[in-house]
Structure 1
Amino acid sequence: MIQIPWLTADSLDFPPSSSALAEPDGLLAAGGDLSPARLLSAYRRGIFPWFEPGQPILWWTPNPRTVVFPDQLHISHSLRKVLRRGDFTVTSDRAFAEVMQACAAPRAGASGTWIGPAMIDAYTELHQMGYAHSVEVWRDEQLVGGLYGLVLGKVFFGESMFSRADNASKVAFTHLARQLAEWRFAVLDCQVASDHLFTLGAQEIAREDFEQILLDCAHTPSLKGPWSLSATRDW
């Protein structure tokens, strides 16, 4: 039987990341709540919640960590053509709730979603506080793609993205990464690996290296409030 610490409601402390399980990778603790104070405390340590509705809250810190350094974003030739055509309009913080709901919707080949009502409520509250942000991709005024995540200092913690049109999530991610590079963000955290992310320049780094980035860059003042992405780009 897997044994992990149980978090109590009266403390925001987490176990050291070195105690996280290797299998399943990065499982650190269970319990606690999704209050803003606990979530911010977790992210500053490289810890995030990931659980299915009806389960106890599970807290993770995988090793290695998948990240994109914004100035090392990779844009393929085919994606560059999509960006230059201008088929999509890209905004930020215009439809945060709709983006979360779209990310929570059932997907082909998946039996459920980990973005339940409690997660939506928690991150919507962080959005209202200026910590969580969304990027939206529109075609003919229809929301066809997007992503959302959390910002601390010069670190963007990506949570989830969705696509209802070819390349829409990649367009959202690319616009975000370019903007983060302009704002001199240190890293865009992607949490865990996927082929989709590797096509955009994602790489895996050791957990201790990621934690050092957080110590250096996640404790500076955060860029709060509604974001505005640069309207024009040279792709």
Structure 2
Amino acid sequence: MKLTVLLLTAAFLNVSANSFSQNISFSGSNVPIEKVFAECKKQTGYSFFYPSSLLTVAHPVTIHAENVPLENFLKELFKNQPIGYEINNRSILLYQKPVDPVILNPKPIQSISIGNNEPQAFPIKIKVIDSMGTPMIRASVMVRNKKISKVTDAQGMVDLQVDIGDVIEISFIGFETKTYTVKNMTPVIFINLKLSDKGMDEVITGYTKLRKESFTGNSIRVTQDELLRIGNRNVISA
């Protein structure tokens, strides 16, 4: 049964991938940037994720492209914008580029020693997605060597304060747990969780315990809310 599901899923993914192109054609002058996002998604299947406030700093764009690779198109699109981007699978996460401060009458930089040269924490964003690029809501994100544990929001995002060398553990019921070691100050980290056969057995078992009176051995429908409720229960009990 699992093999049949996997084969059908693979066939579906193959058909979906072939329905979109990695190239894009677009021509417009002084158009809102969100209009370009919509056309890009229509032609390539890539989805854009960004806070609504980001559009307030974006400028209208003038761009003319004919069958251009997506990566080249994005570089041209954001060349003069205060917006950066990261690509993972079919998700494009946008963020505001840091602005270099303007210093008037700069003074010579002095060497400052900070408490035993301890590393200073810095902010990063973790975005958790599944194999289809869909944001995973309420995934557990934990910094192993610190007492920090959070869950992702509706966009699959979570904000953390970390140091170089910190180990971040990402988990979700029914999916393989992943770890990520912080090696640099990359502002956005994409984490792609893969479905686990063992995890799916745990989900079905948990659902059976939750709704034992309605389970008779026949096929049953498990809603997303019920799966999330099971996942939350397992996290708490763990």
TM-score, L = length of structure 1: 0.23
Q: Bigger relative contact order, structure 1 or 2, given CA contacts below 8 A and separation 6+?
A: 1
Pick the structure with greater CA Rg.
Answer: 2
TM-score, L = length of structure 2: 0.23
